[in-house]
Amino acid sequence: MIEHDGMQANLSGQSKPTDLSEYIVADPETPGGEPVFRGTRVPVAMLFEHLQSDGPLDEFLENFPSVSRAAAVAARRQNPQRLSSKRQPRQP
């Protein structure tokens, strides 16, 4: 298990660690700070909504060609609540 910028990744069974910042970014200046796939305006939450409605990953990738398969797979391995919810400011 690794943690990066408040997001956790379970890496058991992977040969190489996944750096979430390579695929996902949450910038308070863009889409309300909601995590999006890097280099796109596609919210990570859209992937989870698609998968929850039993949509196949390939269909999501066809609908959002700017999202790479590697980014979608890395996001899919995460806890949806951590990646799809808006980030809250830290309390002092």
Residue 16 confidence (pLDDT) above 70: no
Q: What is the pLDDT of residue 77?
A: 87
The answer to whether residue 90 sits within a structural domain is no
On whether residue 92 sits in a domain, the answer given is no
pLDDT at 85: 47
Residue 19 placed within a domain: yes
Q: Is residue 91 part of a domain?
A: no
Number of domains forming the structure of the chain: 1
Evaluate whether residue 68 is within a structural domain: yes
pLDDT of the residue at 73: 94
Q: What is the pLDDT of residue 20?
A: 83
- Whether 89 is covered by a domain: the verdict is no
Establish if 53 belongs to a structural domain. Answer: yes
Q: Render the burial of 4-34: b for 16+ CB within 10 Å, e for the rest.
A: eeebebeeeeeeeebebeebbbbeeeeeeeb
pLDDT bin (cut points 50, 70, 90) of residue 36 is very high
pTM of the predicted protein model = 0.67
Q: Give the domain range for residue 80.
A: 2-84
Specify the CATH number for the domain of residue 24: 1.10.10.10
What is the tens place of the pLDDT at every residue in 62-83? 999 999 999 999 999 886 666 5
- Separation of first and last alpha carbons in the chain: 26
